[in-house]
Structure 1
Amino acid sequence: MPRLTDARKELRRAQIAEAAVRCFGRNGLERTSIADITAESGLSAGSIYAHYLNKAHLVRAAAREVLAERDDVIGEYAADDAPPGPDELLARLVAAIDPAEARVGVQVWGEATTDPAIRDIVVDMTGRMRAMLHDCLTAWLVKVEHHEPVEARERAASLAHRVMALYQAELLYTALRSAAEEPAS
């Protein structure tokens, strides 16, 4: 039996994670089974379990995949000669919200209140996202607003917190709006 290359393994993992996000968005975390993800991905249950131990690991992978996309984009913003300020950064983030991902995100937040493994994922992902926002806003304060780096880092902390809170509110709004707009099954 041929072995998968590392690149092929990563593609397979991404395929499974994307199928999981679609299932979670459609059925909810609790009502999505590995069998659902198997059917959605077109892979065998054995293949799913070869890459992920359980549903919590799939949730973690899906969250990391979404965060990696945000990291790339926010990193590009920070590297610009004129990074976006708080309002523009929030506007860009909100414009990029995918309704299915927003629904999954809100479900994950709900699960985090009762499942310690999911709570750890949410705390980690939220902290990472806030750190990315902090770096981008620090760059804006230094490059555009001409603050000293130390002062900029201090000021960026409260700005990043507010941008993060507003972004999460928009995720919730999008999740609720998109769920209400879908036809009943």
Structure 2
Amino acid sequence: MARVSQEHLDARRRQILDGAARCFARNGFHATSMQDVLREADLSAGAVYRYFRGKEELIEAIVNEVLDTVRTAFEEAAAKSPPPPPDVLVGQVMTQVLTERTGLSYEGEEGFPRLMVQVWTETLRNERLSAVMRTGYARVRQAWIGVVEAYQEAGLMRRDIPAEHVARTMVAAAQGFAVQQALFGAAPVSVLQDGLRGLMSMTSPMDSPSSS
């Protein structure tokens, strides 16, 4: 029997994940059956079950892949001295997730946000998936804390505000933008960036020219 190369195995796994991601984004988690995934991926049951035992493992693999991509992007930014400003950094990461799609294949620009909203909903009833999300979110938050600490070290951000609080807020901004994409339709990442720039431009009334 010919030995199957690792490249072939990786490509087959990618094919399965892409098919599952399209199905979940289009029809939701509970409305998608494994038969739907088989048809979408154009593979036999034996080929798919060799890699994943069911929908739960598929969705966990997709979630881990996306969260790892986001975490890696922030960790790379934190290694720069100083990191790009928040509006640029968040824009880069969101573009990577929404446009480059982290290697996953979705249908339409709202595919990834729709999938993530469905996953977040599922975590309310699925303790195993909830644990995966908590672990992944903790890693992303820790990467963002590193970015904020780098801002503070460079004198670009005030030090009297806990880095974790800023990190949570920036993660919430990215998550909220994804929810808007899922509920109200696609919008360019520049909208989020402009909003962040507007918030970053605020000054104290004591700093305004009219106060002097």
TM range (shorter): 0.7 to 0.9
SS in 2 for 1:51: coil
Q: Within 5 Å, which residues of 2 pair with 1:1-185?
A: 1-98=1-98, 99-143=110-154, 145=156, 155-178=162-185
Encode CA deviations 1:72-104: one digit per residue, 9 max, x unaligned. Answer: 322332222330233433343344452211111
Mapped contact 1:94–1:170 kept (Cα < 8 A): no
Q: Percent identity?
A: 30
Partners of 2:4 and 2:152 lie apart in 1 by 46
Does structure 1 conserve the Cα–Cα contact (< 8 Å) formed by 2:81 and 2:150? no
SS in 1 for 2:162: helix
Of structures 1 and 2, the larger Rg is shown by 2
Query: Residue 137 of structure 1: SS of its match in structure 2?
Result: helix
Matched-pair contact (CA < 8 Å) for 1:21–1:62: yes
Q: Is the 8 A contact 1:16 1:41 kept in 2?
A: yes
Q: What is the match of residue 183 of structure 1?
A: none
Please, what TM-score do these two structures have when normalized by structure 2? 0.72
Q: CA deviation at 1:71?
A: 2.9
Contact 1:83 1:144 in 2 (8 A): no
Q: Equivalents in 1 of 2:96, 2:6: separation in Å?
A: 30
Matched to 1:16, the amino acid is I
Question: Paired residue for 2:190?
Answer: none
The answer to whether the 8 Å contact 2:77/2:147 transfers is: yes
SS where residue 31 of structure 2 aligns?
Answer: coil
1:112/1:118 contact within 8 Å kept: yes
Which amino acid in the other structure matches residue 129 of structure 1?
V
1:141 to partner: Cα distance: 2.4
Structure 2 residues without counterparts, runs of 5 or longer:
99-109, 187-212
* Structure 1: gaps spanning 5 or more residues: 180-185
How many residues align? The count is 175
RMSD between superposed Cα atoms in Å: 2.4
What letter corresponds to residue 155 of structure 1 in structure 2? P
Q: Over residues 10-29 of structure 1, what are the superposed CA-to-partner deviations in whole Å (9 max), with x where a residue is unaligned?
A: 33222211211111001111
Q: TM-score, normalised to structure 1's length? A: 0.82
